[in-house]
Chains A and B, each alone.
Chain A
């Protein structure tokens, strides 16, 4: 590897997966230099149309989720249900390093895509499996989605609610993308193992496992019988000085005052209520806690009078710190989002910026994103590289196995 080479250059990845967690892991491998071949059925990965089909996706003119999850991949359309496709698939497996698969177990069996099926073709292959709920057990065959497996089943959504309120709201693909990093780590472990032993292996992770890992504190607590009470809603906080308040423009300020002795008076001044400083109901921490609902009512009236920008300045000028609750639309223009490398430029004219994966390496830069492939855009090229002749490719096309 030369100084400028990417750490995964020279590795070939077969991304036989759909939707988001597993394809996003393949994207990360591609960002670091791997040659990622996306194998899709004749209808293509449904993630190609999710922006329009999902009610919970931001709608845009540009197919941004597809570009993001398929950048720098090449597309091969192979109808795995067609028996004629198998020899071509085996040829590809024989010359690949990593295969990523997220079919539910019964589909893998039907398609002969379980690890035991492909290992004889290439014993050095790293087979990376993503499931919703694990490889065995009563729910192993259930298709898993991040809302159901990562968030709902793990207990995250139930724990993320205000007392008496509805469950938390997962963002689109939020758990999928976090899970992608678990899958990438698993694959890299296998690469290290292969380097030491020369052997390929099975590795994997599940959406449920990643959801539970992320809420590991409450899961570990539940294992010893300790539980987190649901958070009181903002109008009945445990402390009015550790609470959230809505501004006139429907944004939220997170006030977290730990040193109440020092910051109580500056807060009263900042919100234009110096009279509260001498109010006996709020004279010191103990009584303030007892009257927290009264104080929260007063403060929420005050904060609701002015916009977020006003409060940002007013609080800062009195040295009252608060947590920023950004809106997604604030992130693109946040200089720190660029500084930390989260927002990067692309080579895609219709989508000039995208999000990098969160891994930073001092010795290599992530590849710049090129447009996601059209369905089957690279079929001929990929098969040709795998050693298939023009006549073979023509026959595959005639059989309908390749498009």
Chain B
């Protein structure tokens, strides 16, 4: 397909009435592939995600720039609309009538109050694909709880508990890690809705929850739990079951995953490579059985050895000798990784403040994701969007006066 051919979602209008990350990130992926995404946000501050770059839990640098907003606001137009204002309803309804997809993540009680449930919207536009994101699902004791990825996707699903070393604290989730994984499910749900519309002419309700996505990601452990099987505890690196397939800290506080599975063949080579030929003849470690049963003794020998050189040193030494090891990458290295370029992980933007961004993971042979410019300011496209929806200049002025646009 040539560059000039339309993107697969070109011509679709998406109303992104969602906040924070999972819902908006799904809207970004739709925009990447051609959809016209209109972000409807409260006048003034807008989506609270616009402020997340100031959060102490977010990565920092001097002269902090609003990098998360580039990621989750790209290729959208912003309409600042006060949904609590009665005049805003006129605008919203006119937009809904010509929209193809609507994404909403208000907790159910807020949807009811704002008349934004599917049953409120369906009569206005039965061809609409209504996409709902909740923390914990649409029914049940916790349906009204606001869900965040750390609580609903990671905590409640069992992922954090499973992600710990024996006796250690729970695992750590990164900012929005579960939100972004969930966004791919929302995209799939929306595309299923669009396919159904193509087949039947009817829109419909589609959705997912952070909790269901966490359980899905943790599916192997959860499916095991359904039949009473328990996850074996993960041994801490200083107490491994096998010291030769274990993690070792290097001098520069990085970690190396040693993967000597065939130690029947590689034991001598390993001892030589790490500068401990004496271990090869150490009677404690002569065969595989002994090396395994004495893994606690062996790890005490190996830890100081690996801690004596940097990660780069070990990479060079081990590569040379063919000893298998796994890389624990740092995100700082990924951004300069040649393979990342080949895999299409990053893309240039036309925003000088954030010149590169992270692509969504979907690759299409017939289309490339759009290049993004700067994300919109709150309400930047108010007049433009309202004019497209058929409002005259005097109507727009009246709506502004009524406070619908803040």
Contacts and interface: CB of A to CB of B under 8 A. Distances in A.
A185 B184 contact: yes
A331 B214 CA distance: 11
A49 interface: no
26 contacts: A7-B196, A28-B188, A58-B225, A148-B326, A162-B169, A169-B164, A177-B217, A178-B184, A192-B8, A208-B340, A212-B358, A215-B180, A216-B25, A220-B354, A222-B59, A223-B356, A227-B59, A227-B332, A229-B60, A250-B167, A336-B156, A337-B211, A340-B209, A341-B212, A359-B189, A363-B204
Interface in B367-391: 367
Residue with the greatest number of chain B CB neighbours at <10 A, chosen from A8, A61, A157, A195:
A157
Q: How large is the interface on B (under 10, 10 to 19, 20 to 34, 35 or more residues)?
A: 35 or more
Given A155-B333, A214-B177, A353 B165 contact: no
A152 B188 contact: no
A72 B120 CA distance: 36
Contacts of A164: 253
Contact of A134 (B29, B211, B328, B344): B344
Given A328-B161, A355-B219, A363 B202 contact: yes
Contact of B139 (A153, A166, A339): A339
B216 A252 contact: no
B329 A154 contact: yes
B334 A219 contact: yes
Nearest to B182: A358
Nearest to B122: A362
B260 interface: no
B111 interface: no
A329 B335 contact: no
A158 B174 CA distance: 11
Interface in B314-346: 326-335, 338-346
Given A136-B342, A325-B160, A178 B181 contact: yes
A220 to B, nearest CB: 5
B172 A160 contact: yes
B180 A60 contact: no
B176 A64 contact: no
A181 B185 contact: yes
Contact of B329 (A32, A153, A161, A332): A153
A211 to B, nearest CB: 9
Interface in A355-378: 355-364
Residue with the greatest number of chain B CB neighbours at <10 A, chosen from A135, A199, A216:
A216
Interface string A135-179: 111111000000110001111111111101111111111110111
A343 interface: yes
B64 interface: yes
Contacts, number: 484
A62 interface: yes
Given A158-B328, A336-B140, A65 B68 contact: no
Interface in A329-351: 329-332, 334-343, 351
Interface string A219-263: 111111111110101100010000010100011101000000000
A267 interface: no
B359 interface: yes
A72 B378 CA distance: 48
Given A188-B188, A216-B358, A358 B363 contact: no
Nearest to B139: A339
Residue with the greatest number of chain A CB neighbours at <10 A, chosen from B29, B247, B332:
B332
A366 B257 CA distance: 40
Given A153-B327, A226-B67, A134 B342 contact: yes
A161 B236 CA distance: 13
Contacts of B333: 155
Nearest to A239: B56
Interface string A63-92: 011011000000000000000000000000
Given A64-B226, A166-B255, 6 more contacts: A160-B171, A186-B364, A188-B191, A208-B339, A220-B67, A342-B215
B141 interface: yes
B150 interface: yes
B288 to A, nearest CB: 16
A7 B206 CA distance: 12
A254 B174 contact: no
A230 to B, nearest CB: 9
B220 interface: yes
B361 A213 contact: yes
A137 B220 contact: no
A170 B163 CA distance: 6
A217 interface: yes
A104 interface: no
A30 interface: no
B230 A167 contact: no
Interface in B140-162: 140-143, 150-151, 155-162
A115 B217 contact: no
Contact of B335 (A173, A219, A251, A362): A219
A205 B163 CA distance: 25
B222 interface: yes
B199 to A, nearest CB: 4
